[in-house]
Structure 1
Amino acid sequence: MRLLVITYYWPPSGGAGVQRTLKFVKHLPSFGVECTVITVDPDRGAYPVLDESLAAEIPASVRVIRTDTSEPFGSYKKLTGRQQIPYGGFANESKTSFQQRFFKFVRGNVFIPDPRRGWNAHVLRAVAGLLRAGETFDAVLTSSPPHSTQLIGLALKKRYGLRWLADLRDPWTDIYYSKELNQTAPARWLDEWYERQVLEQADEVLVTSPDTKRLLLGKSAKLTAGKFHVLPNGYDESDFREPSAPPTDSLLITHTGTISEIYHIELFLAACGECSRRHPDVNLRLRFVGKV
C-alpha cells in the first residue's frame, strides 16, 4: 500500500505536534505501507520549537518532499520585534498587550482557519506534479493542527478522488484557545463551515480520544459514528530503552507540554495541595517540562 502523508510539523520541528505523525511513518513500513511525506521546507516554515534529534527517527525508506510556503510570520516578527512566533495556546503571548490582542484578532478573522493556509497551494502543486509523473497512492493522510492542512485533503478528494484519512490531533473550532481569537460572527461561521466540509467529505476521521469523537460527531447530522476512529496517542518502546531511575525520596509528578495562561490548572494544584495536607509524610514534587 502506498500512503501519501501531508503534515506541516515534521523534523526538525519539535514539540507535541510532530510526534504522532512521525511515529506513524516510522512504524507503518513494518505493516507493508510505503510512505511518502510532504511537509514544509524548514528554511521557509515557522516552527515554535525545534528538535533536531527527531530526524534520526525517519526511516531511510521514506521519501520526504519539502515545499515552499507563503505565511505571514515574517511580517509578524518585523512588526512586533519578537523572535518567537505565536503558537497553540498562546503560551508565549501576553494577555494584556494591546498589540498582541490586535494580532490575535487578525489571526482569528483574516487567517481562517489559520495563518499556515498559505502552505496549501504549494502542497497541491507538489501533489499534482507527482500524479502527472504517473505516481499513484492508495490513500492520503492529512494531519492537523494546523487545521488548514485538512483543506488540502479536501481539495485532493474533490480533484482526484483520492481516498482521504483526516487525522485531527486536537479539536478544531472548539480548541481551548478559540475564545482568545475574538472571531466575528462571519469568521466563526466560515471556520465552522470548513470544519463541517472536512468531516463530511473525509473517508475516515482519526481522533485521539472518545471525547473528541463525540465533539466532532455532533458537528453535522450527515456524520455517522462509523467513520470516526479513536486512535489514542501511545508511546514508542524505543524511546524507553534507557533505564528509569525514579526518585526514592519523593512522589514526582511530571507534566510534559505547554501550559498557557488560559489553562485551568487550579483544580490540579488544589488536588496536589489536598494530597499534601492528607499525607504530610509524602514529599510531593511537581515537574513541568515544556513551555510554561
Structure 2
Amino acid sequence: MDSGPGMNSVVMIVHDFPPEGNAGVYRPLRFVRQLQKMNWKTTVISAVPGQYERYDPELLKLVPRETEVIRVKGYGAWQALQAWRSRHKRSQNQNPDIPSDQEGTDQGTFPSWIRDAARNLEAWCYHPDMAAPWIERAVRATVSACSGEAVRVIWATAGPVTSFYVAQAASKQTGIPYVLDFRDSWTISYNEFESRRPDWAVRRDRKRMFELLQGSQAVVFRYATEAECYWRAYPMALDYRKVHIIPNGYEGAIEEFVEPDCKRCTILYTGTLTSYRFETLLDALRMLKDTASADACKLRLLFVGEGTEALRSVGDRLGLADLIETRGPVSYSEVARLQREAHAFLVLGRIPTMRGYELLVGAKLFEYLRMGRPIIGVLPSDETTSILRRLKSPIIADVESSEEIVGVLKRVLRAWSTHTLSTLVPDRKICEEFSVERQTVALTKALEGRPADHPFIRGAVDIPKSLQRYFDEERWSEGSARPGKKE
C-alpha cells in the first residue's frame, strides 16, 4: 500500500512478531497499532523461526490490516535441526502441549557436558546472537521495502541485537536514518549467551554497539537509569540530545475495578518465573500459615507461565500445596480472562546474582496497570520498585524480609475481607502516563528526528550497584569488564 497524502512511512525491524507470543512481542505490536492511527504507514520486517517460543495465532488479529508484514527465514541449519528434534520428542511423548520453555531443549537427551559444550560452541559461532542467520535476508527485505516509496525512517527493536545490525546495514544502502529501541539492556546486563562468549567476541560486540549508537538518528531507552548506563559505557558514541525515554506500557483504557465474588482472595502472577526470586515469598506464606492459619486459608496464589515447576516443587516441600496453583503458558486471551478474575497481581524481582538485575522490569507490570487492580511487589531496590512507588502503590515488600511480605499479604487480606481492595489500587492518573497513546506521541519525535519533550540529563541518576564497578572506560572497551557474567 502506498502512503497517503501527508502520511509518514516507517519500516520496522521486529524479529519476533505475531503469531509469536513471547513477552517481547507486545511493545512493537502496540507501536504498530498506534502509529497506524497517527497517520504513519507501517511495514514490518519479521523472522520466521525454526520453532516458536510461544505460539499464539490469536495475536494476528491485533495486527492492523493496513500493515504489511514481510517475513523472512530466520534460522539456519543448526536451528532447523533443533526444531526437528523438538518436534520429534513431542511426537514420541504424544504430548503436543509441552510448555514452550521446554521445547527445543536437550534436557534428558544428552549428558550435561555435551549440552554445555553445544551452548559454548553457539556463543563462539553466532555473532552477535543466535538470530544471526536472518541478517542478510532481513537487510534485503528492508532495502526492498524502502525502495518503493518515500520511507522516512527505519526503526529497530532489540532483542535480538541483530535487528540493530539489519537497520544499520539497510540505512547505509538506502541513506534512510535509523532509530534504535532498547527493549532490554543489551551488552550491559546479564545475558547467558554473552556470558559464554570469548573476550575477543565481546570486544567486537561492544565496538559494533558503539558504531550502532553513534550512527543512529535517535536511541530509545525504557528509563533514565538504563540511558545513564549506556551513556557511561559508550560516552563518545551516545549523544545525550538524541536520547528518548519511553517505558513499556499498556494499550486501551484502564478498567474499573470490580471485585470478583470468590470465597478466596486470588493473587495472580503471569509470565516466566525463570530467573525471578520467589523463595522469600514462599517462606512468608509458610510463616503466615504457621502464625495465622485462618488468614492463610483464604489465600490463593496462581502462577501462570514458563518455569513454574521449580516454584511448585519448593511450595510442595514447604507444605503450601493448598495455597499455590501453577499452570503452564496460556494464550493472550486466556491471560486476560484470568486477570479479570483476580483480586490482585504479583510482581517479583530478579535474582541478585544477575549483574544489572536492577534494570530488568517485567513487561507484565504494565499490562497489570491497565487492569486497575492492586499490585503486590516483592522486590529488591530496582526499577520495578521505583515505578510502583511512583504509582503510589501501598503494598510493596522488601524481598529480603519475610516478615514484611507477611505484613503486605495480611493487609491485602484485610482489604479483601472488608471489600476495600480499591484503596490499594495504584494511582489511576499516574498510571495513564504509561498509556501507549502517550508513548507513541513520544516515539514519533524520535522517528522524525525531533528532540524529546523531557530531555535526558546526564548524571542525574545513579547506575545500579551491581554495575558500578564495570564502567571503567578502558576495561569496558577491552572487553575485560564483563557484566554479562554472573558473580
CA separation of 1:25 and 1:77: change in aligned 2, threshold 3 A? closer
TM-score of the superposition, structure 1-length normalised? 0.82
Q: Structure 1 residues 23 and 131 mapped into 2: Cα distance closer, same or farther (>3 Å)? A: closer
Whether 2:268 is the aligned partner of 1:254: answer: yes
Following superposition, the deviation at residue 205 of structure 1 comes to 1.4
CA change 1:275–1:3 in 2 (3 A) is farther
One of 208, 225, 240 as aligned partner of 2:240? 225
Aligned to 1:163: 177
Paired residue secondary structure (1:237)? coil
* 3-state secondary structure, aligned to 1:229: strand
Unaligned segments of structure 1, at least 5 residues: none
Match of 1:120 in 2: 135
Partner of 2:394: none
Task: Work out the CA distance in 2 between the residues paired with 1:67 and 1:130.
Answer: 13
1:195-206 matches, cutoff 5 A: 195-206=209-220
Compared CA separation, residues 92 and 242, structure 1 to 2 (3 A):
farther
SS at match of 1:9: coil
Q: In structure 2, what residue type is equivalent to 1:229?
A: H
Shift of 1:275: 6.8
Work out which of the residue numbers 42, 46, 53 in structure 2 matches 1:39: 46
Determine the C-alpha separation between the residues in 2 that align with 1:271 and 1:190.
46
Distance in 2, Cα, partners of 1:265 & 1:94: 23
Partner of 1:20: 27
Query: Hey, what does 2:159 align to over in structure 1?
Result: 145
Amino acid of the structure 2 residue aligned with 1:52:
P
| Residues 148 and 179 of structure 1: CA distance in aligned 2, closer, same or farther (over 3 Å) | closer
Secondary structure, counterpart of 2:233 in structure 1: coil
Partner residue of 2:81 out of 60, 75, 78:
75
* SS of alignment partner, residue 52 of structure 2: coil
Aligned partners of 1:147, 1:177: CA distance in 2, in Å? 12
The code of the aligned residue for 2:53 comes to: P
Identify the match of residue 65 of structure 2 among 54, 60, 65. Answer: 60
Contact 2:14–2:44 (CA under 8 A) maintained in structure 1: yes
- Structure 2 length as normaliser, TM-score? 0.52
Distance 1:203 1:278 in 2: 58
Partner secondary structure for residue 285 of structure 1: strand
Identity of aligned residues (%): 25
Q: Which position in structure 2 is the counterpart of 1:49?
A: 54
Query: 1:266/1:94 Cα in 2 relative to 1: closer, same or farther (>3 Å)?
Result: farther
Residue aligned with 1:253, SS: strand
8 Å CA contact 2:50–2:83 kept in 1: the answer is: no
For the aligned residue pairs, the C-alpha RMSD in angstroms reads: 3.3
Contact 1:68 1:122 (C-alpha < 8 Å) held by counterparts: yes
CA 106–251 in structure 1, closer or farther in 2 if over 3 Å, else same:
farther
Structure 1 252/33 Cα, relative in aligned 2: closer, same or farther at 3 Å? same
Secondary structure of the residue aligned to 2:300 is: strand
Query: Secondary structure at 1:233's aligned position in 2?
Result: coil
1:227-246: CA deviation from partner (whole Å, max 9, x where unpaired)? 222212111227x7799654
Q: Is the 8 A contact 1:5 1:142 kept in 2?
A: yes
Query: Aligned pair in 2 of structure 1 residues 279, 183: CA closer, same or farther (>3 Å)?
Result: farther
Structure 1 residues 5 and 250, CA, compared in 2 at 3 Å: closer, same or farther?
same
Structure 2: where are the runs of 5+ without partners? 1-7, 91-95, 308-487
SS of 2:172's partner is helix
Q: Contact 2:153–2:179 at 8 Å: present in 1 too?
A: yes
* Structure 1 counterpart SS, 2:80: helix
Measured in 1, the distance between the counterparts of 2:220 and 2:161 equals: 13
Larger deviation: 161-170 or 196-205?
Answer: 196-205
Question: For 2:174 and 2:114, how far apart are their aligned partners in 1?
Answer: 43
One-letter amino acid of the structure 2 residue matched with residue 75 of structure 1: L
Query: Is this contact kept in 1: 2:14–2:156, CA < 8 A?
Result: yes
C-alpha deviation, 1:58, in angstroms: 0.9
Q: Would the alpha carbon gap of residues 179 and 121 (structure 1) be closer, same or farther in structure 2, given more than 3 Å must change?
A: closer
The count of aligned residue pairs is: 285
